[in-house]
Protein backbone atom coordinates (compact mmCIF):
# COMPACT_ATOMS: atom_id res chain seq x y z
CA UNK A 1 0.00 0.00 0.00
CA UNK A 2 1.37 3.39 -1.03
CA UNK A 3 1.22 6.33 1.35
CA UNK A 4 1.15 9.92 0.12
CA UNK A 5 1.84 13.34 1.53
CA UNK A 6 -0.75 16.10 1.67
CA UNK A 7 1.04 17.91 -1.16
CA UNK A 8 1.08 14.83 -3.40
CA UNK A 9 -2.62 14.32 -2.81
CA UNK A 10 -3.38 17.96 -3.59
CA UNK A 11 -1.38 17.69 -6.83
CA UNK A 12 -3.34 14.60 -7.88
CA UNK A 13 -6.63 16.33 -7.08
CA UNK A 14 -5.58 19.35 -9.13
CA UNK A 15 -4.44 17.21 -12.06
CA UNK A 16 -7.66 15.20 -12.08
CA UNK A 17 -9.80 18.32 -12.06
CA UNK A 18 -7.84 20.68 -14.31
CA UNK A 19 -6.15 18.36 -16.80
CA UNK A 20 -7.98 15.04 -16.77
CA UNK A 21 -11.40 16.70 -16.66
CA UNK A 22 -13.23 15.18 -13.70
CA UNK A 23 -14.75 18.05 -11.77
CA UNK A 24 -14.16 18.69 -8.10
CA UNK A 25 -17.90 18.35 -7.58
CA UNK A 26 -17.81 14.80 -8.94
CA UNK A 27 -14.81 13.90 -6.79
CA UNK A 28 -16.60 15.27 -3.72
CA UNK A 29 -19.75 13.32 -4.57
CA UNK A 30 -17.75 10.12 -4.97
CA UNK A 31 -15.95 10.76 -1.70
CA UNK A 32 -19.13 11.40 0.26
CA UNK A 33 -20.94 8.40 -1.20
CA UNK A 34 -18.02 6.07 -0.52
CA UNK A 35 -17.66 7.43 3.00
CA UNK A 36 -21.36 6.88 3.73
CA UNK A 37 -21.10 3.28 2.58
CA UNK A 38 -18.20 2.69 5.01
CA UNK A 39 -19.98 4.64 7.76
CA UNK A 40 -23.06 2.44 7.47
CA UNK A 41 -20.90 -0.68 7.70
CA UNK A 42 -18.81 0.52 10.66
CA UNK A 43 -21.35 2.42 12.74
CA UNK A 44 -24.65 0.75 11.74
CA UNK A 45 -26.97 3.74 12.30
CA UNK A 46 -30.74 3.24 12.33
CA UNK A 47 -33.63 5.70 11.99
CA UNK A 48 -33.46 6.02 15.78
CA UNK A 49 -29.76 6.97 15.73
CA UNK A 50 -28.98 10.68 16.04
CA UNK A 51 -25.99 11.61 13.88
CA UNK A 52 -24.06 14.88 14.17
CA UNK A 53 -22.03 15.91 11.14
CA UNK A 54 -19.49 18.50 12.31
CA UNK A 55 -18.27 20.41 9.28
CA UNK A 56 -15.65 23.03 8.55
CA UNK A 57 -16.13 25.51 5.74
CA UNK A 58 -13.66 23.88 3.31
CA UNK A 59 -13.75 20.84 1.06
CA UNK A 60 -13.52 18.44 4.00
CA UNK A 61 -16.74 20.00 5.23
CA UNK A 62 -18.08 19.59 1.69
CA UNK A 63 -17.55 15.82 1.95
CA UNK A 64 -19.49 15.99 5.21
CA UNK A 65 -22.39 17.76 3.49
CA UNK A 66 -22.55 14.97 0.90
CA UNK A 67 -22.59 12.40 3.67
CA UNK A 68 -25.36 14.30 5.46
CA UNK A 69 -27.50 14.32 2.32
CA UNK A 70 -27.20 10.57 1.78
CA UNK A 71 -27.87 9.84 5.45
CA UNK A 72 -30.99 12.00 5.32
CA UNK A 73 -32.21 10.02 2.32
CA UNK A 74 -31.69 6.86 4.37
CA UNK A 75 -34.12 8.27 6.98
CA UNK A 76 -31.37 8.78 9.55
CA UNK A 77 -31.77 11.95 11.66
CA UNK A 78 -28.84 14.26 10.94
CA UNK A 79 -27.83 17.59 12.38
CA UNK A 80 -25.01 19.41 10.61
CA UNK A 81 -23.01 21.64 12.94
CA UNK A 82 -21.25 24.14 10.70
CA UNK A 83 -18.19 25.67 12.39
CA UNK A 84 -18.55 28.81 10.34
CA UNK A 85 -21.21 31.13 9.04
CA UNK A 86 -23.04 29.97 5.92
CA UNK A 87 -21.82 32.93 3.86
CA UNK A 88 -18.17 31.83 4.27
CA UNK A 89 -18.77 28.43 2.66
CA UNK A 90 -17.86 28.53 -1.03
CA UNK A 91 -17.28 26.41 -4.13
CA UNK A 92 -18.21 22.73 -4.21
CA UNK A 93 -18.76 22.72 -0.45
CA UNK A 94 -21.31 25.54 -0.83
CA UNK A 95 -23.11 23.67 -3.60
CA UNK A 96 -23.49 20.60 -1.40
CA UNK A 97 -24.56 22.68 1.60
CA UNK A 98 -27.31 24.19 -0.57
CA UNK A 99 -28.51 20.70 -1.54
CA UNK A 100 -28.81 19.70 2.11
CA UNK A 101 -30.78 22.85 2.90
CA UNK A 102 -33.16 22.11 0.02
CA UNK A 103 -33.86 18.74 1.64
CA UNK A 104 -34.50 20.09 5.14
CA UNK A 105 -38.23 20.87 4.65
CA UNK A 106 -38.77 17.20 3.79
CA UNK A 107 -36.89 15.90 6.85
CA UNK A 108 -38.18 17.60 10.01
CA UNK A 109 -35.80 15.56 12.22
CA UNK A 110 -32.79 17.10 10.47
CA UNK A 111 -31.23 20.53 10.91
CA UNK A 112 -28.27 22.80 10.22
CA UNK A 113 -26.73 24.72 13.12
CA UNK A 114 -24.09 27.44 12.79
CA UNK A 115 -21.37 27.68 15.43
CA UNK A 116 -19.30 30.75 14.66
CA UNK A 117 -17.70 31.62 17.99
CA UNK A 118 -17.27 30.57 21.62
CA UNK A 119 -20.62 31.97 22.73
CA UNK A 120 -22.44 30.05 19.99
CA UNK A 121 -20.64 26.89 21.01
CA UNK A 122 -21.61 27.38 24.63
CA UNK A 123 -25.23 27.81 23.56
CA UNK A 124 -25.22 24.70 21.34
CA UNK A 125 -22.91 22.42 23.34
CA UNK A 126 -25.70 20.48 25.05
CA UNK A 127 -27.41 19.93 21.72
CA UNK A 128 -24.12 18.81 20.15
CA UNK A 129 -23.19 16.22 22.75
CA UNK A 130 -26.66 14.64 22.78
CA UNK A 131 -26.00 12.69 19.60
CA UNK A 132 -25.23 9.02 19.23
CA UNK A 133 -22.67 9.19 16.43
CA UNK A 134 -20.39 11.92 15.12
CA UNK A 135 -19.06 12.51 11.62
CA UNK A 136 -15.86 14.55 11.78
CA UNK A 137 -15.56 16.74 8.66
CA UNK A 138 -13.77 19.69 10.25
CA UNK A 139 -10.24 19.70 8.80
CA UNK A 140 -8.71 17.90 5.85
CA UNK A 141 -5.15 16.88 5.11
CA UNK A 142 -3.78 20.40 4.79
CA UNK A 143 -3.58 21.08 8.54
CA UNK A 144 -0.01 21.72 9.73
CA UNK A 145 -0.38 24.02 12.76
CA UNK A 146 -1.95 23.65 16.19
CA UNK A 147 -5.74 23.66 16.37
CA UNK A 148 -7.08 26.72 18.17
CA UNK A 149 -10.29 28.52 19.15
CA UNK A 150 -13.68 26.92 18.74
CA UNK A 151 -12.19 24.14 16.61
CA UNK A 152 -10.06 23.00 19.54
CA UNK A 153 -13.01 23.29 21.90
CA UNK A 154 -15.32 21.31 19.60
CA UNK A 155 -12.75 18.52 19.13
CA UNK A 156 -12.27 18.26 22.89
CA UNK A 157 -16.03 18.26 23.40
CA UNK A 158 -16.57 15.44 20.90
CA UNK A 159 -13.76 13.33 22.37
CA UNK A 160 -15.15 13.80 25.89
CA UNK A 161 -18.47 12.26 24.88
CA UNK A 162 -16.60 8.97 24.25
CA UNK A 163 -19.14 8.21 21.54
CA UNK A 164 -18.13 6.72 18.17
CA UNK A 165 -16.61 9.20 15.72
CA UNK A 166 -16.23 8.64 11.99
CA UNK A 167 -13.61 10.86 10.37
CA UNK A 168 -13.72 12.07 6.78
CA UNK A 169 -10.32 11.77 5.04
CA UNK A 170 -8.27 12.24 8.24
CA UNK A 171 -9.08 12.78 11.92
CA UNK A 172 -9.23 16.52 12.46
CA UNK A 173 -6.11 17.70 14.24
CA UNK A 174 -3.79 15.08 12.74
CA UNK A 175 -0.82 16.06 10.58
CA UNK A 176 -1.20 14.09 7.34
CA UNK A 177 2.55 13.92 6.69
CA UNK A 178 3.92 12.98 10.11
CA UNK A 179 1.10 11.49 12.18
CA UNK A 180 1.72 14.17 14.83
CA UNK A 181 -1.16 15.60 16.82
CA UNK A 182 -1.60 19.33 16.20
CA UNK A 183 -2.45 20.21 19.79
CA UNK A 184 -5.70 18.22 19.89
CA UNK A 185 -7.09 15.57 17.59
CA UNK A 186 -10.31 13.65 17.03
CA UNK A 187 -10.07 10.06 18.30
CA UNK A 188 -11.87 8.21 15.52
CA UNK A 189 -13.47 4.79 15.52
CA UNK A 190 -12.97 4.70 11.75
CA UNK A 191 -11.68 6.91 8.95
CA UNK A 192 -12.60 6.97 5.28
CA UNK A 193 -9.76 8.45 3.25
CA UNK A 194 -9.71 9.09 -0.47
CA UNK A 195 -7.57 7.67 -3.30
CA UNK A 196 -4.57 6.87 -1.07
CA UNK A 197 -3.82 6.48 2.61
CA UNK A 198 -1.78 9.35 4.00
CA UNK A 199 1.48 8.85 5.87
CA UNK A 200 -0.07 10.31 9.03
CA UNK A 201 -2.78 7.65 9.08
CA UNK A 202 -0.18 4.93 9.57
CA UNK A 203 2.71 6.47 11.48
CA UNK A 204 2.51 6.52 15.26
CA UNK A 205 0.79 8.31 16.95
CA UNK A 206 -1.52 8.95 14.00
CA UNK A 207 -2.49 5.28 13.80
CA UNK A 208 -3.84 5.55 17.35
CA UNK A 209 -6.31 8.25 16.25
CA UNK A 210 -7.33 6.94 12.83
CA UNK A 211 -9.17 3.78 13.89
CA UNK A 212 -10.23 1.40 11.14
CA UNK A 213 -9.04 2.85 7.85
CA UNK A 214 -10.57 2.39 4.42
CA UNK A 215 -9.28 3.91 1.21
CA UNK A 216 -12.13 5.04 -1.05
CA UNK A 217 -11.67 5.16 -4.82
CA UNK A 218 -13.05 8.53 -5.93
CA UNK A 219 -12.00 8.41 -9.59
CA UNK A 220 -8.45 9.76 -9.60
CA UNK A 221 -6.72 7.92 -12.49
CA UNK A 222 -3.88 5.58 -11.61
CA UNK A 223 -1.43 7.22 -13.98
CA UNK A 224 -1.84 10.50 -12.07
CA UNK A 225 -0.30 8.73 -9.09
CA UNK A 226 2.53 7.15 -11.09
CA UNK A 227 3.85 10.58 -12.04
CA UNK A 228 4.04 11.79 -8.42
CA UNK A 229 7.13 9.80 -7.39
CA UNK A 230 5.41 8.27 -4.36
CA UNK A 231 8.20 6.94 -2.16
CA UNK A 232 6.48 5.73 0.99
CA UNK A 233 4.96 2.27 1.08
CA UNK A 234 3.54 -0.11 3.69
CA UNK A 235 4.78 -3.68 3.40
CA UNK A 236 2.15 -6.39 3.07
CA UNK A 237 1.91 -10.07 2.22
CA UNK A 238 1.37 -9.25 -1.45
CA UNK A 239 4.74 -7.47 -1.48
CA UNK A 240 6.68 -10.11 0.46
CA UNK A 241 5.29 -13.42 -0.82
CA UNK A 242 6.61 -13.05 -4.42
CA UNK A 243 10.15 -12.68 -3.06
CA UNK A 244 10.17 -16.40 -2.21
CA UNK A 245 10.33 -19.21 -4.78
CA UNK A 246 9.76 -22.95 -4.32
CA UNK A 247 12.97 -24.88 -3.75
CA UNK A 248 14.16 -27.27 -6.45
CA UNK A 249 13.69 -30.96 -5.69
CA UNK A 250 17.43 -31.63 -5.99
CA UNK A 251 18.47 -28.82 -3.65
CA UNK A 252 21.21 -29.37 -1.07
CA UNK A 253 22.79 -27.27 1.67
CA UNK A 254 25.19 -25.69 -0.78
CA UNK A 255 22.27 -24.36 -2.80
CA UNK A 256 21.23 -21.84 -0.18
CA UNK A 257 24.31 -19.90 0.67
CA UNK A 258 26.96 -19.78 3.36
CA UNK A 259 26.72 -16.96 5.89
CA UNK A 260 29.53 -15.78 8.14
CA UNK A 261 28.68 -14.09 11.44
CA UNK A 262 31.01 -12.24 13.79
CA UNK A 263 29.40 -11.82 17.18
CA UNK A 264 29.58 -12.38 20.91
CA UNK A 265 31.75 -11.41 23.86
CA UNK A 266 31.88 -12.35 27.55
CA UNK A 267 28.40 -11.91 29.01
CA UNK A 268 26.82 -11.65 25.56
CA UNK A 269 27.09 -15.17 24.21
CA UNK A 270 23.33 -15.36 23.79
CA UNK A 271 23.35 -12.59 21.17
CA UNK A 272 25.73 -14.61 18.99
CA UNK A 273 23.68 -17.79 19.40
CA UNK A 274 20.35 -16.08 18.67
CA UNK A 275 21.74 -14.53 15.50
CA UNK A 276 23.25 -17.77 14.18
CA UNK A 277 20.22 -19.93 15.02
CA UNK A 278 17.87 -17.41 13.38
CA UNK A 279 19.93 -17.53 10.19
CA UNK A 280 19.54 -21.30 10.08
CA UNK A 281 15.85 -21.20 10.92
CA UNK A 282 15.15 -18.97 7.93
CA UNK A 283 16.67 -21.51 5.56
CA UNK A 284 20.32 -20.56 5.13
CA UNK A 285 22.29 -23.54 3.86
CA UNK A 286 25.40 -23.07 6.01
CA UNK A 287 26.28 -20.70 8.83
CA UNK A 288 29.73 -20.15 10.31
CA UNK A 289 29.81 -18.20 13.57
CA UNK A 290 33.09 -16.53 14.46
CA UNK A 291 33.50 -15.75 18.16
CA UNK A 292 36.34 -14.79 20.52
CA UNK A 293 38.33 -17.89 21.44
CA UNK A 294 37.52 -17.53 25.12
CA UNK A 295 33.76 -18.03 24.66
CA UNK A 296 33.75 -20.68 21.93
CA UNK A 297 33.23 -23.53 24.39
CA UNK A 298 30.25 -21.70 25.84
CA UNK A 299 28.69 -20.88 22.47
CA UNK A 300 29.07 -24.29 20.81
CA UNK A 301 26.34 -26.06 22.84
CA UNK A 302 23.96 -23.16 22.09
CA UNK A 303 24.19 -23.60 18.29
CA UNK A 304 23.61 -27.12 17.05
CA UNK A 305 23.48 -26.53 13.29
CA UNK A 306 25.79 -23.52 12.81
CA UNK A 307 29.53 -24.13 12.80
CA UNK A 308 31.80 -22.11 15.08
CA UNK A 309 35.32 -20.84 14.71
CA UNK A 310 37.59 -19.45 17.45
CA UNK A 311 39.16 -16.09 16.64
CA UNK A 312 41.83 -13.92 18.31
CA UNK A 313 40.57 -11.83 21.19
CA UNK A 314 41.49 -8.67 23.06
CA UNK A 315 42.46 -8.69 26.76
CA UNK A 316 38.81 -7.85 27.53
CA UNK A 317 37.68 -10.96 25.64
CA UNK A 318 36.23 -9.29 22.53
CA UNK A 319 37.23 -9.91 18.92
CA UNK A 320 40.66 -8.49 18.10
CA UNK A 321 41.86 -6.72 14.99
CA UNK A 322 44.69 -9.28 14.97
CA UNK A 323 42.18 -11.70 13.45
CA UNK A 324 41.44 -9.54 10.40
CA UNK A 325 43.44 -11.61 7.90
CA UNK A 326 41.97 -14.86 9.21
CA UNK A 327 38.45 -13.44 8.94
CA UNK A 328 39.01 -12.19 5.38
CA UNK A 329 40.32 -15.63 4.42
CA UNK A 330 37.29 -17.34 5.97
CA UNK A 331 35.00 -14.90 4.13
CA UNK A 332 36.23 -15.86 0.65
CA UNK A 333 33.71 -18.64 0.07
CA UNK A 334 30.81 -16.97 1.91
CA UNK A 335 27.93 -14.97 0.46
CA UNK A 336 27.35 -12.43 3.25
CA UNK A 337 28.84 -11.20 6.52
CA UNK A 338 26.81 -10.26 9.58
CA UNK A 339 28.54 -8.50 12.43
CA UNK A 340 27.57 -6.79 15.63
CA UNK A 341 25.35 -8.81 18.01
CA UNK A 342 27.04 -8.83 21.42
CA UNK A 343 30.33 -7.80 19.84
CA UNK A 344 31.39 -5.23 22.43
CA UNK A 345 32.97 -1.83 21.84
CA UNK A 346 36.59 -2.39 22.86
CA UNK A 347 38.69 0.09 20.83
CA UNK A 348 40.53 -2.75 19.12
CA UNK A 349 37.21 -4.40 18.23
CA UNK A 350 36.15 -1.07 16.77
CA UNK A 351 39.33 -1.08 14.69
CA UNK A 352 38.42 -4.55 13.40
CA UNK A 353 34.88 -3.45 12.45
CA UNK A 354 36.16 -0.41 10.57
CA UNK A 355 38.74 -2.52 8.74
CA UNK A 356 36.05 -4.99 7.67
CA UNK A 357 33.91 -2.13 6.36
CA UNK A 358 36.74 -1.01 4.08
CA UNK A 359 38.36 -4.37 3.24
CA UNK A 360 35.59 -6.99 3.07
CA UNK A 361 33.93 -7.52 -0.31
CA UNK A 362 30.89 -9.38 1.05
CA UNK A 363 27.51 -7.71 1.56
CA UNK A 364 27.52 -6.44 5.15
CA UNK A 365 24.64 -6.68 7.62
CA UNK A 366 25.59 -4.55 10.62
CA UNK A 367 23.80 -4.34 13.94
CA UNK A 368 24.27 -3.37 17.57
CA UNK A 369 27.92 -2.91 18.56
CA UNK A 370 29.11 -2.92 14.95
CA UNK A 371 27.02 0.24 14.53
CA UNK A 372 28.29 1.65 17.82
CA UNK A 373 31.85 1.07 16.59
CA UNK A 374 31.11 3.30 13.60
CA UNK A 375 29.41 6.07 15.56
CA UNK A 376 32.56 8.20 15.88
CA UNK A 377 33.38 7.85 12.19
CA UNK A 378 30.29 7.05 10.09
CA UNK A 379 31.98 8.55 7.02
CA UNK A 380 34.01 5.34 6.77
CA UNK A 381 30.87 3.84 5.22
CA UNK A 382 31.69 5.76 2.05
CA UNK A 383 34.92 3.72 1.74
CA UNK A 384 33.37 0.28 1.79
CA UNK A 385 33.66 -2.19 -1.11
CA UNK A 386 30.23 -3.76 -0.82
CA UNK A 387 26.57 -2.95 -0.22
CA UNK A 388 25.41 -2.76 3.39
CA UNK A 389 22.38 -3.00 5.63
CA UNK A 390 22.45 -1.24 8.99
CA UNK A 391 19.81 -2.16 11.58
CA UNK A 392 19.98 0.37 14.46
CA UNK A 393 17.44 0.86 17.21
CA UNK A 394 16.66 4.54 17.98
CA UNK A 395 19.51 4.91 20.49
CA UNK A 396 22.05 3.47 18.06
CA UNK A 397 20.62 5.63 15.29
CA UNK A 398 21.06 8.69 17.48
CA UNK A 399 24.72 7.87 18.11
CA UNK A 400 25.29 7.16 14.43
CA UNK A 401 23.65 10.40 13.27
CA UNK A 402 25.05 12.57 16.09
CA UNK A 403 21.62 13.63 17.38
CA UNK A 404 19.43 12.76 20.35
CA UNK A 405 17.12 9.77 20.57
CA UNK A 406 14.22 12.20 20.93
CA UNK A 407 15.22 13.80 17.63
CA UNK A 408 15.22 10.38 15.97
CA UNK A 409 11.78 9.50 17.28
CA UNK A 410 10.36 12.92 16.34
CA UNK A 411 11.10 12.30 12.65
CA UNK A 412 11.88 8.63 12.09
CA UNK A 413 11.26 8.70 8.31
CA UNK A 414 13.32 11.86 7.79
CA UNK A 415 16.27 10.65 9.86
CA UNK A 416 16.30 7.22 8.21
CA UNK A 417 15.97 8.60 4.69
CA UNK A 418 18.67 11.23 5.18
CA UNK A 419 21.20 8.70 6.47
CA UNK A 420 20.41 6.09 3.81
CA UNK A 421 20.77 8.61 1.01
CA UNK A 422 23.94 10.20 2.42
CA UNK A 423 25.83 6.94 2.94
CA UNK A 424 24.13 4.88 0.23
CA UNK A 425 23.11 2.12 2.63
CA UNK A 426 19.88 0.34 3.45
CA UNK A 427 18.87 1.65 6.86
CA UNK A 428 16.51 -0.45 8.98
CA UNK A 429 15.34 1.81 11.82
CA UNK A 430 13.90 -0.61 14.36
CA UNK A 431 11.06 -0.03 16.80
CA UNK A 432 7.30 0.00 16.66
CA UNK A 433 6.68 0.37 12.91
CA UNK A 434 10.20 -0.48 11.77
CA UNK A 435 11.21 1.58 8.74
CA UNK A 436 13.38 0.46 5.83
CA UNK A 437 15.00 3.41 4.06
CA UNK A 438 16.69 2.80 0.71
CA UNK A 439 19.49 4.86 -0.86
CA UNK A 440 17.13 6.12 -3.59
CA UNK A 441 14.84 7.79 -1.04
CA UNK A 442 12.12 5.16 -0.87
CA UNK A 443 10.84 4.12 2.55
CA UNK A 444 8.94 0.98 3.51
CA UNK A 445 7.00 0.78 6.77
CA UNK A 446 6.52 -2.61 8.41
CA UNK A 447 3.06 -3.09 9.95
CA UNK A 448 3.89 -6.39 11.65
CA UNK A 449 5.15 -6.78 15.20
CA UNK A 450 3.72 -6.32 18.66
CA UNK A 451 4.73 -5.00 22.11
CA UNK A 452 5.69 -8.51 23.19
CA UNK A 453 8.75 -8.12 20.99
CA UNK A 454 10.12 -5.43 23.29
CA UNK A 455 12.70 -7.73 24.82
CA UNK A 456 16.43 -8.36 24.57
CA UNK A 457 17.57 -10.51 21.66
CA UNK A 458 14.95 -9.53 19.10
CA UNK A 459 17.44 -7.44 17.16
CA UNK A 460 19.93 -10.31 17.10
CA UNK A 461 17.29 -12.56 15.57
CA UNK A 462 16.46 -9.93 12.94
CA UNK A 463 20.14 -9.61 12.00
CA UNK A 464 20.41 -13.38 11.55
CA UNK A 465 17.29 -13.55 9.43
CA UNK A 466 18.20 -10.62 7.21
CA UNK A 467 21.77 -11.83 6.74
CA UNK A 468 20.58 -15.39 6.12
CA UNK A 469 18.23 -14.27 3.36
CA UNK A 470 21.05 -12.23 1.82
CA UNK A 471 23.32 -15.29 1.83
CA UNK A 472 20.57 -17.26 0.11
CA UNK A 473 20.65 -14.86 -2.82
CA UNK A 474 18.07 -12.21 -1.94
CA UNK A 475 19.01 -8.69 -2.93
CA UNK A 476 19.79 -6.58 0.12
CA UNK A 477 16.61 -4.59 -0.44
CA UNK A 478 14.46 -7.72 -0.55
CA UNK A 479 16.32 -9.34 2.35
CA UNK A 480 15.69 -6.30 4.52
CA UNK A 481 11.99 -6.15 3.63
CA UNK A 482 11.37 -9.88 4.01
CA UNK A 483 13.44 -10.16 7.18
CA UNK A 484 11.68 -7.30 8.92
CA UNK A 485 8.19 -8.36 7.82
CA UNK A 486 8.52 -12.03 8.76
CA UNK A 487 10.36 -11.22 12.00
CA UNK A 488 7.27 -9.36 13.23
CA UNK A 489 4.62 -11.58 11.64
CA UNK A 490 3.51 -13.55 14.70
CA UNK A 491 0.02 -15.01 14.84
CA UNK A 492 -1.11 -16.77 18.05
CA UNK A 493 -3.07 -19.38 16.08
CA UNK A 494 0.00 -20.62 14.24
The ranges assigned to domains in the chain are: 2-230, 238-488
Report CA torsion sign: 14, 17, 18, 20. positive
pLDDT digits (tens, 9 = 90+) for 139-194: 999 998 999 999 999 999 999 999 999 999 999 999 999 999 999 999 999 999 99
Three-state SS string over the chain comes to CEEECHHHHHHHHHHHHHHHCCCHHHHHHHHHHHHHHHHHHHHCCCCCCCEEEEECCCHHHHHHHHHHHHHHHCCCCEEEEECCCHHHCCHHHHHHHHHHHHHHHHCCCCEEEECCCHHHHHHHHHHHHCCCEEEEECCCCCCCCCCCHHHHHHHHHHHHHCCCEEEECCCCCECCCCCCECCCCCCCCEEEEECCEEHHHHCCCHHHHHCEEEEECCCCCHHHHHCCCCCEEECCHHHHHHHCCCCCCCCCHHHHCEEEEECCCCCCHHHHHHHHHHHHHCCCCEEEEEEEHHHHHHHHHHCCCCEEEEECECCCCCECHHHHHHHHHHHHHCCEEEECCCCCCCHHHHHHHHHHHHHCCCCEEECHHHHHCCCCCHHHHHHCCCCEEECCCHHHHHHHHCCCHHHHHHCHHHHHHHHHHHHCCEEEECCCCCEEECCCCCEEECCCCCHHHCCCCHHHHHHHHHHHHHHCCCCHHHHHHHHHHHHHCCCCCC
pLDDT attached to residue 222 = 85
CB-based contact 53:70 (threshold 8 Å): no
pLDDT attached to residue 394 = 97
pTM: 0.89
pLDDT attached to residue 268 = 97
Taking the C-alpha atoms of residue 98 and residue 136, their distance in angstroms, rounded to an integer, is: 19
pLDDT attached to residue 489 = 83
pLDDT attached to residue 164 = 98
pLDDT digits (tens, 9 = 90+) for 206-243: 999 999 999 999 999 988 877 788 899 999 999 999 99
CATH ID of 2-230, from 1.20.140.10, 3.10.620.30, 3.90.1640.10, 3.40.50.10260: 3.40.50.10260
Below-50 pLDDT ranges, the chain: 491-494
pLDDT attached to residue 490 = 56
Q: Look up the CATH architecture of domain 238-488.
A: 3-Layer(aba) Sandwich (3.40)
pLDDT attached to residue 494 = 39
Amino acid sequence: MFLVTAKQMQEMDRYTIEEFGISGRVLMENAGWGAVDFFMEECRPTPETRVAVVAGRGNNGGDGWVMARYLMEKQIPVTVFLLSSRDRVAGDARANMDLVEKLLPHYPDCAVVEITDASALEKEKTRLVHHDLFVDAIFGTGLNSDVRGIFRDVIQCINQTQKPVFSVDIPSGLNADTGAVCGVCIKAKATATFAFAKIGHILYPGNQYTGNLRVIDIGIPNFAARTRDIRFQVLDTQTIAPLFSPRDFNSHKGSFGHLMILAGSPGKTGAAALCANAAKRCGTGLVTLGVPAGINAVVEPMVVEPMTVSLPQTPSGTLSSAGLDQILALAKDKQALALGPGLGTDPDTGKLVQSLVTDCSLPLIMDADAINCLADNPDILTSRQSPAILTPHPGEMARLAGISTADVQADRPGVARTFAEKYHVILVLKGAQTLIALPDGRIFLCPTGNPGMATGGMGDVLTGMTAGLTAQGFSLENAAMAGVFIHGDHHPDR
